[in-house]
Amino acid sequence: MKDLSTYAASIRSKVIQLSHQARTPHLGSSLSCADLIVALYKSHLRIDPQNAQDPTRDRFFLSKGHAVTTLYAVLAKQGFFPESELDQTYAEPGSRLPEHPSRNCVPGIEASTGSLGHGLGLATGVALANRIQNIDAKTFALLSDGECNEGSIWEAAMTAAALQLPKLCAIVDVNKWQATGRSAEVLALEPLHEKFASFGWETHRIDGHDFAAIDKALSSFPHPSGKPTAIIADTIKGKGVSFMEDDNNWHYRIPNADEVIAANKELGLA
Amino acid sequence: MRNAFAQEIEKLAQDDPRIILLSGDIGNRLFDSFKERFPERFINCGVAEANMVGMAAGLAMAGMRPVIYTIASFLIYRPYEQLRLDVGYHGLPVCIVGVGGGLSYASNGATHHALEDIAVMRAIPGMQVLNAGDAWEVRAGLADALRSEKPCYLRIGKKREPLVHTEAISQPLLGRCISLGDGKQAALLASGNLLPHAAEARQLLSARGTSISLFSSPSVHPLDTELLETLFESGQPIFILEEHNRNGGLGTATLEWANDQGLDTRQLIRIGTPNTFIHRTTTQQDSRETCGLTAQDIADKIHSRLRQEANPT
């Protein structure tokens, strides 16, 4: 688990650096889901970086596409594409690495996301296709809590439960903020785990920064009940950097050079 | 047309195990035979169109060939962003079948009228758009759409529409018009469920000594540019008929193309529904009368235009 923490710290550092150099927002959202994405790619997803189109692979949909720098950083570190490309070209005109991901822009990006509410429907379709084609693979969609404002998420939740797709897993990064307010106040979001449970899902509510808890929840999936699994992960927006944590200004703010140095120091990378 | 769709999709599914049919909680009994033969490949997606489209895109990503089916007005307007992004942006081979195109469901009110569907679907980059004129075009269009391996919107009518073609269509529909009779003074291109009216209008004109050529033009995108070039070159008036808002349909698509080519667009006359909601309690026939879309109306419009050209004031 210590290895994962160190790995996640390096991802956070990269994400902060990318935001600084390309002047792209959504840093708080990228930091809140970093541990979840790290745990998935380091310990659970069965995807060969050298054969990222293998039809029998597990699939991960980053439905909250605005947090893609975290996914880019992990994919690069895992060997899906060169890390130097990320460092040198992220969000530059003509780059393969846009601010919101486009399907197959680099190996490992399954879908074009950036508009919220799409990833769970796509993942439901993939999970159904795998069952019909007898492909033994898992399908994951990572959502934001604000994203659960979208009706399409709940359409997909009812559909996946009706279709009994046990190999479908929704992970909700509950960082408690959306763009302009507290998620639980903007719409009546909570209790989110009870909502998913009542929609027919096997549900876990965990600390989304506790690698042991993340591993336990992911290891109990797929559930023998035949239900799809929802992991409601409580996280902190801006996690890992004290002056960003739970401060929603970092939904849009860009860190300056001094803030990058301070953040790296806190992450143990100075 | 919907019975033809149900029969054809079952036939195609027999030969292609990748085909899966998704319905938006309509087609009671219509798909009984399909469901019995391919229970794993029929999904009632409920009244949740956005998810139906998203799920279809996911199915296509994972190698299936989804065909999604519900009432055109619900299929296109509600989940438009899913159509644009999940299907269009990803360029996935999803066949989007809207039943009850145009005024097929006129009596159900404007909630059920699909008169702007073609305008918005042809605006999605890479989206092929077919508007079927009879049951034979439904069959050919469905096969064509699936063969194309690209996103395609297929707009069909409802039931008991008269047949215009006398046998199965062997030519491709995408990007091709079908000639249904020669003529000298003008060309009439009919797209979709007004095709039988167009054929009748041609006969009415013939009885009045006016000779026009008639083409069925199911393909809104891509256009049959080869035919259009020939027609523009002839200098004849070209009438484009569709049960769709005059703004944005095949007529507009043709105008845009002609303008891009530097052609004289005054030759082109669009006949369709006005840019208004229909509040009147109505039937399909009544609304066609109100909108000036009966065979007689069409013949009169063409006749009057030709007279105007012959005797300019």
Amino acid at residue number B58: G
Contact A118 B54 (CB under 8 A): yes
CA distance A168 to chain B (A): 12
Query: Would you say B94 and B68 are in contact if contact means Cβ atoms under 8 Å apart?
Result: yes
3-state secondary structure chain B: CHHHHHHHHHHHHHHCCCEEEEECCCCCCCCHHHHHHCHHHEEECCCCHHHHHHHHHHHHHCCCEEEEEEEHHHHHHCCHHHHHHHHHHCCCCCEEEEECCECCCHHHCHHHCECCHHHHHCCCCCCEEEECCCHHHHHHHHHHHHHHCCCEEEECCCCCCCCCCCCCCCCCCCCCCEECCCCCCEEEEEECCCHHHHHHHHHHHHHCCCCEEEEECCEEECCCHHHHHHHHHHCCCEEEEEEEECCCCHHHHHHHHHHHHCCCHHHEEEEEECCCCCCCCCCHHHHHHHCCCCHHHHHHHHHHHHHHHHCCC
Structure tokens at A199: 């929609």
Structure tokens at B126: 């890479």
Tens digits of per-residue pLDDT, B157-188? 999 999 999 999 999 999 999 999 999 999 99
How far apart (Å, rounded) are the C-alpha atoms in residues B139 and A202? 43
Residue of A nearest to B47 (CA): A155
| Separation of CA B27 from chain center | 20
- What's the predicted TM-score (pTM) here? 0.96
Confidence of residue A244 (pLDDT cuts 50, 70, 90): very high
Q: What is the mean pLDDT of chain B?
A: 97
Tens digits of per-residue pLDDT, B206-247? 999 999 999 999 999 999 999 999 999 999 999 999 999 999
Helices (H), A142-181: 151-163
Query: How crowded is residue B312: how many other Cβ atoms within 10 Å of its Cβ?
Result: 5
The answer to whether residue B312 scores a pLDDT higher than 90 is: no
Contact B82 A112 (CB under 8 A): no
**Cis status, amide bond into B222, omega within 30 of 0:** yes
ipTM confidence score: 0.95
The answer to whether residue A256 scores a pLDDT higher than 80 is: yes
The answer to whether residue A153 scores a pLDDT higher than 80 is: yes
Interface of A with B (CB under 8 A): 55, 59, 102-103, 110-112, 115, 117-118, 120-130, 132-133, 135, 151-152, 155-156, 158-159, 162-163
Confidence of residue A108 (pLDDT cuts 50, 70, 90): very high
The answer to whether residue B22 scores a pLDDT higher than 80 is: yes
CA atoms within 13 A on the CB side of A270: 12
* Chosen from A54, A126, A147, A164 to mutate, greatest number of chain B CBs within 10 A: A126
Contact A126 B58 (CB under 8 A): yes
End-to-end CA distance of chain A: 21
Contact A125 B57 (CB under 8 A): yes
Chain A residues close to B40, C-beta within 8 Å = 132
Contact A115 B85 (CB under 8 A): yes
**B268 bridge partner residues:** B238
